Amino acid sequence: MKGIVFSLLEHLVVSEHGEETWETLLEASGLDGVYTSLGSYPDEDLFKLVGAASEALDAPADDVVRWFGRGAMPLFVERYPQLFSEHDNARSFVLTLNDIIHPEVRKLYPGAIVPEFGFDSSRPQALGMDYFSPRKMCAFAEGLLLGAGVHYGETISIEQPKCMNRGDQRCRLEITFSQKT
Amino acid sequence: MPSGDYVQPEDLTEPSELEARAKRLERQLHRERSVRQEAEAITERVTRELYDKQQRLVLVAIVAKAANEASGIEDAIATCLEAVRAHMSWRLGHLWLLDEADEMVSTDVWAGDPVRDAAFRAASRGLRFGPGIGLPGRVLAERTAVWMSGRGELSRLPRGIAVDAADLRTALCFPLFSGSDVVGVLEFFADRELKPDAELVTLMMQIGTHLGRVVERQRAADTLLHQATHDALTGLPNRVLILDLLTRSLARQHRNMDYRTAVFFIDLDGFKEVNDTLGHAAGDRVLRQVAARLSTVIRPQDTLGRLSGDEFVIVCEALTEEHPVVAIAERLGTAVREPIEVDGEQFLVTASVGIALAEDSDAAVALIEQADAAMYRAKELGRARYEIFSDELRERIARRLDIERALRGAIERGELRLHYQPEIDLRTGAIIGVEALLRWQRADALMMPGDFIGLAEDTGLIVPIGRWVLNEALRQLGIWTADEAIAEKPWISVNLSVRQLADPELMPNVRSALADHRADPSQLLLEVTESVIFDDAQAGLTVLTALRSLGTEIAIDDFGTGYASLSYLRRFPASVVKIDRSFIVEIDKDPRTRSIVEAIVTMARALDLSTVAEGIETAEQLAVVRQLGFDTGQGFYIAKPIPATEVARLLRAPRPFAGLVTSQS
């Protein structure tokens, strides 16, 4: 897992719940918390942190990951504004994941494992999105999608008829974009 | 222990103080985190820039490699087009090339998804833009990259509707340079709206220079191919291309029995004279005019080519009857016959045409040879006409080949003979010389030089034959020299052809022949015609001067028939002039001929040349040549060419022809 993910999580926890909470999560996970966006760290670290948060909040781990994804979006906007400014709606932005955004990720982190997406863009106000990643973090993708909706002032609803966590080969997200109000 | 002596921990844990300290630590933590994030951000930026730079280097390397290795322009550019498109993550790329009309022409070289872009590709097919028109035209006119974004601007392009339909939002178009010339254009389209990227444009201009080299190289290769298959003077296909076309045409004929292929071989009559009188530059202009005329009379499916000099060839394909062959031949003749004007002077040129119709089994080279043979026959039959290659002609050629084969072995088989014709002193009747004349005893037939010398000249056999003649004549001279019964030793004259004079071995051969037979060089009279100095005067004179330096004598044979100017005659290192028999035949009948001959004799005497009258056949002719003061006479009336033994008999007798000269005087 790339350090940027830990960095974002730290940033999000600290800004929403304070320094203490981040320290508490680290302590509970038995981690030293030395992360920089330039390094790579065990996937296990992230899962431990999510597990600790899940326990502390008494909420399902997927909800924590979804919260993280949604909260991370504004941080992406802050760091990489040009990736967002070329689009005026969430659907158009999401469609650039494979061609623009993940190639950008690889520029910074050669060898990064990014999820593969497949898109069905046949319907104008909706998207069918296949997700495949050995990390099975479709909830993170969901959160990010919701965050993108917030950024573009849209309401996004997501259904997931297939999920790797439920034994499917890949996850299928059916995304519906609302008209802007 | 008094407590006031020590600072207790409690003293430092005043709530307000602890709070202040915690706040300071928090600020410190926040600052440290910000510093870390700042450092991370800087590193990210540098990493990304490094990555981009590296990718650009990789892209330039890919382009340079493709440019250097590609066999064809389209391969190289297709590779680069895709590399550039993928690098930019744009949707499609397309190549335009400049044509002869200085317009950008849409090619079939594309990058991107062919299915998704099918409609846009179709809309671009067959388009051509002049300077300033459309994206490629703008790049051609402005000679720099054009960046265009926004649907509004793009939809105003000539292909605006197709651009709109394909939902293209950004276009980048840049030139391919060959030197300072724009030779092509690459255009790329993205389906996102992108702001101009100066670095990207710089990179593309760099790539444009690389790929321009590919275009340039291809153009050079095309030119080379064209040069290799076309004649530089007339721009017509040359022998290489004609043979290729003919081979294909014959293959088609083989598949379709109704079709026939015909080859016309055209040779201009009298072209050499044009070249000689006006010079080669004028000759070239005549050839260009003839080429232009010939190309107007052939059918669109026929091909006109130039083989060499004034030899043209026409390949007629898919003839279904013979009639057009005759019609074409007549049109060719008429077209060439029209006067040609060069440098304000009019020239009449005619053409001799040979035609060969392909049989099923004919090969291209053989067919051209047949047409050539038919043309040769047309020349023989009086020029300015056409002949169709026939079985009869085939037999003539076969006969010729037969003779050639036989002649090649004639020396080894001892079939060559020399006969000798006496040349007599017209005052005393003594034999002062004999001319060696070649005979070929072929089976039962004794063949005369006219039957085979032309062939020997054409095939180069004249060189070994000439060497044999020289040796045989000198051997015979040695026998007569040693013959004590012969008081007056005659000279022996031997004919040398132009072809022999051009043989670099001639001088060593003459020298060793003289040495081998211990011959007195002054007894050897080498006869050459005026034509020796006709083709290349300086070379001819050089060889003759060298021969003269060996001590041999030189005679000008057949004098009066050639074109030698008097100024050359002055420099001709000859000691004898033999007046051509065509004058002698008329000399006693035509006063004008007599006057000409008289003038020649006077001139020869003034130049200190000895004169010989050839071909004396009657007593009257002999009388006139004696009157005119010729030194020497030769001809059937005096003596026919006879074998050496008979000559020896005559030589032993003193003044065997005294009766002829005394009875006449």
Within 8 A by CB and 6+ apart from A180, the residues are A89, A152, A153, A154
Cross-chain residue pair A100–B89, CB shorter than 8 Å: yes
Strand runs labelled E in B477-585: 491-495, 524-529, 553-559, 576-579
**Mean pLDDT (chain B, rounded):** 87
Rounded to an integer, the average pLDDT of B445-464 is: 87
Higher local confidence (pLDDT), A85 or A145: A145
Give the mean model confidence (pLDDT) for residues B647-661: 88
- Confidence band, pLDDT 50/70/90 cuts, at residue B10: low
CB pair distance less than 8 Å for B26 and A36: no
C-alpha distances in Å from residue B467, one per residue of B434, B457, B464: 18, 13, 5
Q: Which of B33, B44, B58 to mutate to test the interface with A (most CBs of A within 10 A)?
A: B44
The beta strand positions in B358-508, using DSSP E, are: 386-388, 416-425, 431-442, 445-447, 491-495
Q: In this predicted structure, what is the pLDDT of residue B541?
A: 83
Question: Are the Cβ atoms of A108 and B26 closer than 8 angstroms?
Answer: no
Closest CA to B499 of B526, B470, B460: B460
**Model-wide pTM > 0.80:** no
Lowest mean pLDDT among A54-68, B263-277, B525-539: B525-539
Residues A109 and A2: their CA atoms lie apart, in Å, by 8
B37 touches chain A (CB under 8 A): yes
- Closest-CA residue of A relative to B46 is A108
Segment of A87-101, B341-355, B442-456, B572-586 carrying the highest mean pLDDT: B572-586
Which of B29, B89, B193 is closest, CB to CB, to A86?
B193
pLDDT at B664: 45
Is a pLDDT exceeding 70 seen at residue B466?
A: yes
Residue B171, strand partner residues = B148, B189
Q: Does B54 touch chain A (CB under 8 A)?
A: no
pLDDT > 90 in chain B, percent: 40
Would you call B92 helix, strand, or coil by DSSP? strand
For the cut 70, the answer to whether the pLDDT of residue A132 exceeds it is yes
Mean pLDDT of B255-266: 84
Contacts of B151 in chain A (CB under 8 A): none
Instruction: Give the model's pLDDT for residue B534.
Output: 61
- pLDDT of res. B536: 65
Q: Closest chain B residue to A19 measured between Cα atoms?
A: B26
Selected residue with higher pLDDT from A104 and B628: B628
Phi first, then psi: what are they for B434, rounded to 5°?
-135, 140
The gap between the terminal CA atoms of chain A, to the nearest Å, is: 38
Which pLDDT score is estimated for B665? 42
Q: What is the mean pLDDT of chain A?
A: 88
At A56, is the pLDDT very low, low, confident or very high (cuts 50, 70, 90)?
confident
Torsion sign (Cα): B185, B188, B189, B193: negative
CA B572/CA B544 separation, integer angstroms: 8
Q: What is the pLDDT of residues B26-56, one digit of tens each?
A: 888 888 888 888 888 888 888 888 888 888 8
pLDDT digits (tens, 9 = 90+) for B329-347: 888 888 888 888 887 778 7
| pLDDT above 70 (res A88) | yes
Shortest alpha-carbon distance between residue B22 and chain A (Å): 12
Strand order across the beta sheet in which B386-388 lies: B303-308, B311-319, B260-269, B350-357, B386-388
Model confidence at B547, in pLDDT bands (50, 70, 90)? very high
Residue B1: predicted pLDDT = 45
pLDDT tens digits for range B406-428: 888 898 899 999 999 999 999 99
Pairing of strands B92-98, B181-190: antiparallel
* CA pair distance B516, B484, nearest whole angstrom: 21
The mean pLDDT of B525-535, rounded to a whole number, is 79
In 3D space, the residue among B330, B277, B286 whose CA is nearest the CA of residue B309 turns out to be B286
Buried b (16+ CB within 10 A) or exposed e, B8-39: eeeeeeeeeeeeeeeeeeeeeeeeeeeebbee
| pLDDT band at residue B102 using 50, 70 and 90 as cut-offs | confident
Residue B322's pLDDT is what?
Answer: 61
Closest chain A C-alpha to B257 CA, distance in angstroms: 59
User: How do strand B146-149 and strand B170-178 relate by DSSP bridges?
Assistant: antiparallel
Alpha-carbon span A67 to A61, nearest angstrom: 10
CA distance A31 to chain B (A): 18
Which residues of chain B neighbour A104 with C-beta distances below 8 Å? 48
User: CA-CA distance, B20 to A178, in Å (whole number)?
Assistant: 49
Burial class of residue B137 in the structure, from the number of CB atoms within 10 Å of its CB (0-12 exposed, 13-18 middle, 19+ buried): buried
CB B26 within 8 A of CB A16: no
Nearest CB partner across the interface for A107, out of B26, B40, B48: B48
Residue B663 has what pLDDT? 55
Going from the C-alpha of B73 to that of each of A47, B77, B122, B208, B330, the distances in angstroms are 55, 6, 22, 13, 46
pLDDT at B562: 64
CA atoms within 13 A on the CB side of A40: 7
Per-residue pLDDT, averaged over B305-313, amounts to 91
Q: Could you give the CA distance from residue B184 to residue B551 in angstroms, rounded to a whole number?
A: 72
Q: What is the set of domains in chain B, with CATH numbers?
A: 68-229 (3.30.450.40), 239-389 (3.30.70.270), 403-662 (3.20.20.450)
pLDDT tier, B18 (very low <50, low <70, confident <90, very high otherwise): confident
Burial of B323 (0-12, 13-18, 19+ CB in 10 A): exposed
Averaged pLDDT for residues B521-535:
84
| pLDDT tens digits along B583-612 | 999 999 999 999 989 988 998 888 889 999
Q: What's the pLDDT at B138?
A: 94
Long-range contacts (CB closer than 8 Å, 24 or more residues apart) made by B621-624: B621/B584, B621/B585, B621/B587, B621/B588, B622/B660, B622/B664, B623/B588, B623/B664, B624/B587, B624/B588, B624/B594
